[in-house]
Amino acid sequence: MLKIDNLHVSVAGKEILKGLSLELRPGQVHAVMGPNGAGKSTLGNVLAGREGYEVTAGSIEFDGRDLLALEPEERAAAGVFLAFQYPVEIPGVNNTYFLRAALNAQRKARGEPELDSMQFLKLVREKLAVLHLKDELLHRGVNEGFSGGEKKRNEIFQLALLEPKLAILDETDSGLDIDALKAVADGVNALRSPERAFLVITHYQRLLDYIRPDVVHVLADGRIAETGGPELALALEQHGYAWIRERVVPEA
Ligand code: ADP
Ligand code: MG
Ligand code: MG
Ligand nearest to the CA of 171: 3
Strands 166-170 and 80-82: parallel
pLDDT at position 71, please?
A: 93
Distance from the CA of 131 to the center of ligand 3, in angstroms?
A: 26
Regarding the domain with residue range 2-247, which homologous superfamily does it belong to in the CATH classification?
Answer: P-loop containing nucleotide triphosphate hydrolases (3.40.50.300)
Distance from the CA of 112 to the center of ligand 1, in angstroms?
A: 37
Strands 2-11 and 14-24: antiparallel
Q: Whose CA is nearest to atom 11 of ligand 1?
A: 37
Query: Does residue 15's CB lie within 6 angstroms of at least one atom of ligand 1?
Result: no
CB-based contacts of 197, cutoff 8 Å, min separation 6: 1, 2, 24, 25, 26, 27, 28, 29, 30, 165, 166, 167
pLDDT at position 14, please?
A: 97
ipTM here:
0.93
Helices (H) and strands (E) in the chain — how many of each? 8, 12
Please name which of 78, 66, 87 lies closest in space to residue 55, comparing C-alpha atoms: 66
How far out from the chain centre does Cα 118 lie?
A: 29
Asked if residues 154 and 109 have their Cβ atoms less than 8 Å apart, the reply is: no
What tens digit of pLDDT does each residue of 154-188 get?
Answer: 889 999 999 999 999 988 766 678 888 888 899 99
Mean pLDDT, rounded, of the chain? 89
Kindly report the pTM of this predicted structure. Answer: 0.91
- With a cut of 50, which residues of the chain have pLDDT below it? 85-86, 252
Distance from the CA of 42 to the center of ligand 1, in angstroms?
A: 6
What tens digit of pLDDT does each residue of 198-233 get?
Answer: 999 988 788 888 899 999 999 998 999 999 999 998
Query: Does residue 100's CB lie within 6 angstroms of at least one atom of ligand 1?
Result: no
SS3 252: coil
Strands 197-201 and 141-142: unpaired
CB-based contacts of 209, cutoff 8 Å, min separation 6: none
Asked if residues 100 and 115 have their Cβ atoms less than 8 Å apart, the reply is: yes
SS3 245: helix
